[in-house]
Chain A
Amino acid sequence: GAGVSQSPSNKVTEKGKDVELRCDPISGHTALYWYRQSLGQGLEFLIYFQGNSAPDKSGLPSDRFSAERTGGSVSTLTIQRTQQEDSAVYLCASSPSPRDPAAFGPGTRLTVL
């Protein structure tokens, strides 16, 4: 079956531009997570969606970051006015329920010049 997909796979942008990263979770998965991995670092939690509950945004590093999940399925992570420190691999993951291990997508590598 199809796994978690993310697009684009690579994104190069100029400092100050806005970017949108897309995640298509596995069908039927109610939990959706965004993480990012900077060079040489572990995975840093960004945001968590569970069903119709209010998302846990506690990991978003600044108000330039936002995310939404439409219809309980596709999610978009938006970064406004990108900075060089935003360069990282952004990973999306989904799971059937919070207690189940999450399946990760391949990630979007963002490079801010």
Chain B
Amino acid sequence: DQQVKQNSPSLSVQEGRISILNCDYTNSMFDYFLWYKKYPAEGPTFLISISSIKDKNEDGRFTVFLNKSAKHLSLHIVPSQPGDSAVYFCAASGNNFNKFYFGSGTKLNVKP
């Protein structure tokens, strides 16, 4: 039973526009969330995180929003660039941090 879900397997966006990647979770005990980016043949690289005490965290072009009541988070990339084309995974953990649950990923394609 997947506790973290990314329901969009792919997303295509024009360069310069906003990319919005969505993630839903089922476990109300999750209180720490991360986004990773993965290029082919490489391991995932950390992008941005948010803890449950916040509803927004921003780092440059990347912003993560957390809606605890809806058990939903989203990653916004503005403006999108062709180099952002990759697979994006969201992950969630409880307060013991010993295990992160990952979604199945969303493949983002930013068209020049």
A interface, CB within 8 angstroms of B: 4, 31, 33, 35, 40-45, 48, 50, 56, 58-59, 91, 93, 98-99, 101-107
Residue pairs across A and B with CB atoms within 8 Å: the count is: 56
Choose among B2, B4, B46, B89 the residue with the greatest number of A CB atoms under 10 Å from its CB.
B46
In the complex the two chains form, is B34's CB within 8 Å of A101's CB?
A: yes
Q: Kindly state the separation between the CA atoms of A41 and B103 in the bound complex, as whole angstroms.
A: 8
Tell me the interface secondary structure of chain B in the complex: loop
**How long is the Cα–Cα vector from A50 to B44 in the complex, in angstroms?**
21
Extra inter-chain contacts (11) besides given A4-B43, A58-B99, CB under 8 Å? A40-B104, A41-B104, A42-B104, A43-B89, A43-B100, A43-B102, A45-B100, A93-B43, A98-B96, A98-B98, A104-B36
Range for the number of chain B residues in contact with chain A? 20 to 34
Minimum CB–CB distance for B99 against chain A, Å: 5
- Is B53 in contact with chain A by the CB < 8 A criterion? no
Which residues of B are found within 8 Å of A102, using beta-carbon distances?
A: 46, 100
B43 & A48 in contact (Cβ 8 Å cutoff): no
Q: Which residues of chain A are near B89, meaning CB under 8 Å?
A: 42-43
Closest chain A residue, CB of each to CB of B97: A98
Instruction: Give the docked Cα–Cα distance between A91 and B45 (Å).
Output: 12
B1 CB-CB contact with A under 8 Å? no
**Residue B42 at the chain A interface, CB threshold 8 Å:** yes
Q: How far is the CA of A43 from the CA of B97 in the complex (A)?
A: 16
B80 on the interface (CB 8 Å rule)? no
